[in-house]
Amino acid sequence: MTKADLIDEVARVVEMTRKDSETIVETIFDSVVRSLHQGEKIEIRGFGSFRTRQRQPRVGRNPKTGTRVDVPAKRIPYFKPSKELKDLVNEEGGPAADAGQNTGSANPPSSFRF
């Protein structure tokens, strides 16, 4: 699913204009990025959590030339799915089991709640 697909899905489910749903999706993404930039963590129950992790500086290699390159320390975003999300993804008879078959239902299982 792409960002455009997500915007279209929000517009369809909530029955609003694509422009309004685009504003909603952009606002959510901007809020997540802003919170991670400030070092905060985001927890969405039943879905997962977003955090940043610190990577230590290291010496890497340029794959083309083989020369050594110093890679500085940096923070990277990290997503940890909830147990509920893992269970839904791996559910027998769920969307993964129906691979290639479009059932026409874009709704998540009823046990999925925010």
HEC sequence for the chain: CCHHHHHHHHHHHHCCCHHHHHHHHHHHHHHHHHHHHCCCCEEECCCEEEEEEEECCEEEECCCCCCEEEECCEEEEEEEECHHHHHHHCCCCCCCCCCCCCCCCCCCCCCCCC
Task: Give the angle 16-19-24 at the CA atoms, nearest 5°.
Answer: 75
Per-residue pLDDT of the chain (114 residues; tens, 9 = 90+): 999 999 999 999 999 999 999 999 999 999 999 999 999 999 999 999 999 999 999 999 999 999 999 999 999 999 999 999 999 999 876 655 555 444 444 555 544 444
pLDDT for 74: 95
Q: What is the pLDDT, as a whole number, of residue 92?
A: 77
Distance of CA 45 to the CA centre of its chain: 14
CB 32 within 8 A of CB 42: yes
Instruction: Specify the pLDDT at position 113.
Output: 46
Query: Could you report how far apart the first and last alpha carbons of the chain are, in Å?
Result: 20
